[in-house]
Amino acid sequence: MWFLTIIFMINSELSSIFEDLADMEDIEENHWESIAYRKVAKSISMLTGDVLDLYHEKKLRNIEGVGSAIEKKIIEYIETGKISKYEILKEKYNIDFQSLRKIQGLGPKRIALLHLTLGIKNLDDLGAAIDSDRISKVPGFGTKSQEALKKAIEFYKSTGAGRIPLATCYDDIQKFFDKINSGGKFTELQIAGSARRMKDTVGDIDILSSSTIPEEAAKYFLGLEEIKHVIASGDTKISVILSLGLNCDLRIIDHKSFGAGLQYFTGSKEHNIRLRDIAISKGMKLNEYGLFKGEKVIASETEHGIYKELGLQWVPPELRENMGEVEAALENSLPELVDYDLIRGDFHTHTDATDGHSTFRQMVDAAIKLDYKFIAITEHSKSLKIAHGLDEKKFMARNREIEKFNEKKSSLRVLKGVELEILKDGSLDLSKGLLQEMDVVIGAIHQSVNDDIRNNTTRFVRAIESGLLTTIAHPTGRLLGTREPYHIDFDTVFQACKDNNVAVEINGFPTRSDLPYDLVKKAKSYKVNFTLGSDAHGTEQLKYLRFATAIARRGWLESKDVLNADLQFSKKFGK
Ligand code: DGT
Ligand code: CA
Ligand code: CA
């Protein structure tokens, strides 16, 4: 990963506020202000450090485009959580710029025009205006752009609009959860939905609770400062928008049906439908209140009870996608998933020698602190110029540094690695001699990718057959929300990996999450090995390894499939 900056919550909040401000100033016809805000929005979004750090160091002015007026606004936001100018304009316009901006063909000028002429404020308004043929009549639009907008909305909705990578909000969700819990108002509290299933992206957060004082508990929840807006508040369900930019559904249910509720609201919907069918086939009824035979409650208090009474093994949440887990659970043959705690090392990291921002020593120290047994430092290779890829000479120097560290017999072993460019014709970016010296060679395709499936597949296969790769990196090349996966024949690639003893990477970097879990399951059927990597470009990103592990579990992997798992690593590296 080389073109993504790190995601800091406050940076992304500020950047989208300034972008909104720019859009609103455009409508107000204050074009100079608009240009200034847009510039700052962009420079904040590209920062590699946290705005909060710059604030503490009194260096906000170092951000490109920040003068005294904008500096004041940033300080106001950090200290009060609000920017008064923004609040005033928002009141006036109340436009969902963030969604509208994501529609291809809608820039700030056109959003402003549609607002001024048709009063369009959000995607629903836009859809309705298209359906009633009003857009085509706006000067500058026409039937053709109306059609194009209709398609663009469909695309936006189908590619998972508004979904957030779980890895970028996981810590905040945990903190929010702990805060709810710390109030002492709830008897039971559990995260459900896609976040419990550890899906790579989440649409909203579902929290399930029970309480002996439900009204007081609801009031406490609604008073939490993390809640930005209340969408709906009923006796059993409260829906809110959190300041971290996610919706959250809190359900307060009866203690007696907590297990059934947890099962139901964990989903997935497809998994639940299968369970409901099984219940029906056994003459029972399953819903969020329990498993029933006629009026009689067969199970409801615990989730395990529900599965047991249906004649199934308890299914780990990560597997609940109707991908064969129901059949396996009926036959008592679910896999023994690789455990999060067994992953004690990272196969994919970068430092400031290329496009990372932590030093070698900082990365190594952080790995020791995490009690890792190994870390592979896998810098980019020379032809990835944008990431300052290293040539043979620089890799040799790095290798000597690693050897020196390993001589000290620390609890951590550092592996000599490279994220190696697979060139256009499938040849490799560094000399054979150097590659043979490496512990970890992750072959990656970053550049000159075309739409030709045969071309891309052959490119991978040639590299795999070189005998010099240990792993292929983020195989689909997808970037969540911005880039479609490459066209690749994965049956051929996985077979080649198996034949040449090349592992397949699961990259846990939030916007990559690559391989996706369904392809992991497919790769497993070829009996390949897997390596998990965070693709961290700084110490604070090492935590993404957990999300690579989540994908591994969602792809049915067991310890024996994963080279990071203790036992496998020892076998390979004799430690
Ligand atoms: P998300 O929020 O899009 O990332 O995905 P989920 O799975 O968290 O979906 P969400 O929040 O709409 O609903 C939470 C769970 O509630 C879902 O996984 C299963 C259950 N559920 C919701 N609607 C239905 C439904 O119509 N039928 C069934 N069987 N279950 C449902
Ligand atoms: Ca959800
Ligand atoms: Ca929900």
Is residue 413 classed as helix, strand or coil in its secondary structure? strand
CA of 236 to the centre of ligand 3 (A): 13
Best of 173, 206, 208, 262 to mutate for ligand 1, by most ligand atoms within 8 A of CB? 206
Dihedrals phi, psi of 532, to nearest 5 degrees? -105, 135
pLDDT value of residue 2: 33
Choose the weakest-confidence range: 4-8, 58-62, 252-256, 439-443: 4-8
pLDDT at 45: 81
Fold designation for 1-93: DNA polymerase; domain 1 (1.10.150)
Tell me which residue has tokens 């100033």: 25
pLDDT at 364 over 50: yes
| Closest residue by CA, ligand 1 atom 31 | 269
Q: How far is the CA of 249 from the centre of ligand 2 (A)?
A: 8
The residue whose CA has the least distance to atom 18 of ligand 1 is 267
Residue 160 pLDDT exceeds 60:
no
Residue 47 backbone phi and psi in degrees, to 5: -60, 145
Query: Does the Cβ of 202 fall within 6 Å of ligand 1?
Result: yes
In the chain, where does the domain assigned CATH 3.30.210.10 lie? 257-330
Sign of the dihedral through C-alpha 104, 109, 111, 114 = negative
Question: Of the bound ligands, which one is closest to the alpha carbon of residue 239?
Answer: 3
User: How far apart, in whole angstroms, are the C-alpha atoms of residue 402 and residue 363?
Assistant: 12
Q: Are 536 and 544 in contact (CB under 8 A)?
A: yes
What confidence category does residue 69 fall into, taking pLDDT thresholds of 50, 70 and 90? very high
CATH 1.10.150.110 boundaries in the chain: 1-93
Domain with CATH 3.30.460.10 in the chain: 164-252
Neighbours of 322 (CB within 10 A): 16
**Ligand 1, atom 23: nearest CA belongs to which residue?**
269
Read off the pLDDT of each residue in 67-80 and give the average, rounded to a whole number: 94
Q: Which ligand is nearest to the CA of 251?
A: 3
CATH topology (fold) of 257-330: Beta Polymerase; domain 3 (3.30.210)
537 touches 507 (CB < 8 A): no
Instruction: Compute the distance between CA of residue 303 and CA of residue 192 in angstroms, rounded to an integer.
Output: 12
User: Looking at residues 22-26, what average pLDDT do you find?
Assistant: 92
CA distance 511 to 5: 11
Instruction: Look at residue 574 and tell me whether its pLDDT is greater than 70.
Output: no
* Contact predicate 168/195, CB 8 Å: no
Mean pLDDT of the chain: 92
More confident site: 562 or 108 = 562
pLDDT in tens, 470-516: 999 999 998 887 677 899 999 999 999 999 999 999 999 998 999 99
Q: Which residue, judged by its Cα, is nearest atom 3 of ligand 1?
A: 203
- Determine if ligand 1 sits within 6 Å of the CB of residue 273: yes
Helix 269-281 crosses helix 258-266 at what angle (to 10 degrees)? 130
Query: What count of residues does the chain have?
Result: 575
pLDDT tier at 6, thresholds 50, 70, 90: very low
CB of residue 239 inside a 6 A radius of ligand 1: no
Q: Which two tokens stand for residue 365?
A: 């120290």
**What is this structure's pTM?**
0.77
Which bound ligand lies closest to the C-alpha atom of 197? 1
Kindly indicate whether the domain formed by 340-573 is annotated with CATH number 3.20.20.140. yes
Ligand 1 neighbour 165 (Cβ under 6 A): no
The DSSP-derived string for 465-476 is TTS--SEE-STT
Could you tell me where the DSSP H helices lie in 321-413?
325-330, 360-369, 392-407
Nearest ligand (C-alpha, residue 264): 1
β-bridge partners, 285: 292
CATH assignment of 164-252, among 3.20.20.140, 3.40.50.1480, 3.40.50.2300, 3.30.460.10: 3.30.460.10
464 vs 245: which has the higher pLDDT: 464
